[in-house]
């Protein structure tokens, strides 16, 4: 990913655009065949020489063309025919963005595979579900991962859509009116480069496309943040249901030898904030003056390489975390059964209602027994219910025992496994 965004790669994308435009002009008879052969054979550039020229002319594309002509010679007069700088800049940038998206798709597919594999392993690993960080009802760890997989699937679709939407070029000249070039040149050039011509460019490709790129990458990064935040919470000492891999020789603290910290997940959460911070800049880049200005250029030089490289790194980090995640089913089961299975309160409530008890009365009885267990260090919800005559006169021992079965909770998850092919 880093190689896509080097100065060398940027200038190469510009050269690719210029050469494709020359080939288009050749097909329309606007460049002599011998001149085109000279261009093909000699076209090259030197990044350090371009910067040297730019220091004098204060224009990056002119500096690039000047250096290119130093290699090509007389045939250089056929390069950049009827084009403007933004034709090169924006079409070259489209090549970089398309290549970046292709790599991101590769990495998110690897993450997708890792999550799916772990979900399969833990389809039936029972744990507690939480809302407001408070115990709710039993779920399975595979079910939690199924939610991550579904979100990753959507993010893959977003990137695949983006790969097409960002692959847009223009060879429309100053103001984008084709006044000094033929629209056919644009069509042929874009075909050569694997791009589509912009529907109606001004002198630049409208920045809603680039804002879409940034927002999509930030959205994917925010999904990774969600997964990382959950891992961090589940690794807390008082929970310890999952844990990042702790490598041999790794140390968690300079002062406390016992520490095993979720540093990769924390890193992902931190970097996601950087990705989201670029969203505002990308949206503000859309409002350019008239047919163009270059207020967007300075931010994009920082933003687009950074957000691409950062998300690529984050995807690899998350795939590594998932692939080597420590999972502790015993702790999950122990945490779920704290206070004597108080998390099965809804099953008891429904059983009492089914027995004929009024809902409000049933709720009061179940809540009373649940809170008695909750507020007692050795509290036991099930034992409380078994001692409550208002409960035992309505529910048999077998009916009460059935309320504490996780099989009831797991059976209906088959529909999710089918949807996700887990």
* Final residue of a structural domain among 333, 351, 370: 333
Same domain for 401 and 295: no
Instruction: Report the C-alpha gap between 122 and 140 in whole angstroms.
Output: 7
Residue ranges of E strands in 239-386: 242-243, 326-327
Segment 196-241, tens digit of pLDDT: 999 998 889 999 999 999 999 999 999 999 999 999 999 999 999 9
pLDDT of 259 above 80? no
Would you state the pLDDT for residue 409? 64
Instruction: Report the C-alpha gap between 220 and 117 in whole angstroms.
Output: 20
Total domain count for the chain? 3
Q: Which residue has the tokens 């100065």?
A: 7
Same domain for 115 and 137: yes
Q: What angle do CA 324, 329, 334 make, to 5 degrees?
A: 140
Candidates 253, 298, 387, 405; catalytic one: 253
More confident residue, 127 or 253: 127
Same domain for 365 and 241: no
Segment 24-70, tens digit of pLDDT: 999 999 999 999 999 999 999 999 999 999 999 999 999 999 999 99
Q: What is the CA radius of gyration of the chain?
A: 31
Segment 104-162, tens digit of pLDDT: 999 999 999 999 999 999 999 999 999 999 999 899 999 999 999 999 999 999 999 99
Segment 60-104, tens digit of pLDDT: 999 999 999 999 999 999 999 999 999 999 999 999 999 999 999
User: Is 132 marked active-site?
Assistant: yes
Would you state the pLDDT for residue 408? 59
What's the mean pLDDT in 233-251? Answer: 85
Q: Is residue 194 part of a domain?
A: no
Short-list 406, 335, 340, CA closest to 143? 406
Same domain for 221 and 206: yes
Do the beta carbons of residue 135 and residue 379 sit within 8 Å? no
3-state secondary structure of 136: strand
Question: What six digits make up the tokens of 61?
Answer: 């594309």
Would you state the pLDDT for residue 4? 97
What's the mean pLDDT in 331-338? Answer: 92
Same domain for 241 and 145: yes
Would you state the pLDDT for residue 252? 61
Please report which helix (H) or strand (E) contains residue 127, including its range.
strand 126-131
Same domain for 132 and 275: yes
Q: Which domain holds residue 45?
A: 2-81
Short-list 295, 303, 376, CA closest to 339? 376
pTM equals 0.92
How many residues make up the chain in this entry?
422
Would you state the pLDDT for residue 250? 66
- Sign of CA pseudo-dihedral 123, 124, 127, 129: positive
Same domain for 129 and 232: yes
pLDDT of 253 above 60? no
Q: Kindly indicate the confidence band of residue 254, based on its pLDDT and cuts at 50, 70 and 90.
A: low
Candidates 132, 254, 258, 290; catalytic one: 132
Question: What six digits make up the tokens of 276?
Answer: 């989201």
For the chain, give the mean pLDDT.
Answer: 93
Short-list 323, 21, 56, 322, CA closest to 197? 21
Same domain for 398 and 254: no
Same domain for 303 and 174: yes
Same domain for 75 and 18: yes
Same domain for 122 and 262: yes
* Final residue of a structural domain among 333, 360, 384: 333
pLDDT of 255 above 70? no
pLDDT of 295 above 90? no
Q: 9 forms bridges with which residues in the sheet? A: none
């Amino acid at each position: 990913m880093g190689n896509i965004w080097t100065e060398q790669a940027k200038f190469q994308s510009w050269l690719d655009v210029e050469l494709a435009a020359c080939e288009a002009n050749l097909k329309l008879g606007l460049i002599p065949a011998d001149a085109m052969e000279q261009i093909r054979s000699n076209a090259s550039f030197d990044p350090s020489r371009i910067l040297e020229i730019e220091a004098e002319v204060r224009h990056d594309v002119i500096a690039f063309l000047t250096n290119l002509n130093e290699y090509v010679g007389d045939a250089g007069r056929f390069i950049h025919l009827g084009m403007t700088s933004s034709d090169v800049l924006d079409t070259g940038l489209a090549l970089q963005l398309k290549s970046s998206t292709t790599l991101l798709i590769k990495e998110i597919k690897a993450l997708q595979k890792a999550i799916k594999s772990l979900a399969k392993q833990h389809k039936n690993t029972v744990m507690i579900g939480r809302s407001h960080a408070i115990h709710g009802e039993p779920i399975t760890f595979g079910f939690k991962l199924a939610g991550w997989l579904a979100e990753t699937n959507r993010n893959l679709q977003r990137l695949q859509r983006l790969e097409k939407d960002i692959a847009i070029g223009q060879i429309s000249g100053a103001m984008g009116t084709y006044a000094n070039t033929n629209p056919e040149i644009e069509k042929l050039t874009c075909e050569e480069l694997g791009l589509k011509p912009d529907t109606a460019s001004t002198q630049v490709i409208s920045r809603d496309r680039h804002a879409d790129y940034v927002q999509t990458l930030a959205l994917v990064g925010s999904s990774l943040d969600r997964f990382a935040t959950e891992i961090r919470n589940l690794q807390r000492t008082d929970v310890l249901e999952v844990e990042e891999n702790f490598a041999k020789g790794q140390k968690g603290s300079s002062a406390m030898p016992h520490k095993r910290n979720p540093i990769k997940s924390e890193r992902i959460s931190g970097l996601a904030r950087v990705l989201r911070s670029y969203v505002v800049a990308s949206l503000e880049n859309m409002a350019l003056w008239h047919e163009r200005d270059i207020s967007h250029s300075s931010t994009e030089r920082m933003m687009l390489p950074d957000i691409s490289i950062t998300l690529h790194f984050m995807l690899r980090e998350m795939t590594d975390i998932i692939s080597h995640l420590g999972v502790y089913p015993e702790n999950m089961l122990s945490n779920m059964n704290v206070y004597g299975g108080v998390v099965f309160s809804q099953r008891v409530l429904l059983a009492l209602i089914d027995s004929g008890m009024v809902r409000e009365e049933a709720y009061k009885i179940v809540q009373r027994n649940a809170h008695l267990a909750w507020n007692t260090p050795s509290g036991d919800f099930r034992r409380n219910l078994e001692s409550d005559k208002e409960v035992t006169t309505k529910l048999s021992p077998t009916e009460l025992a059935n309320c504490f079965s996780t099989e009831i909770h797991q059976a209906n998850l088959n529909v999710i496994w089918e949807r996700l092919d887990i």
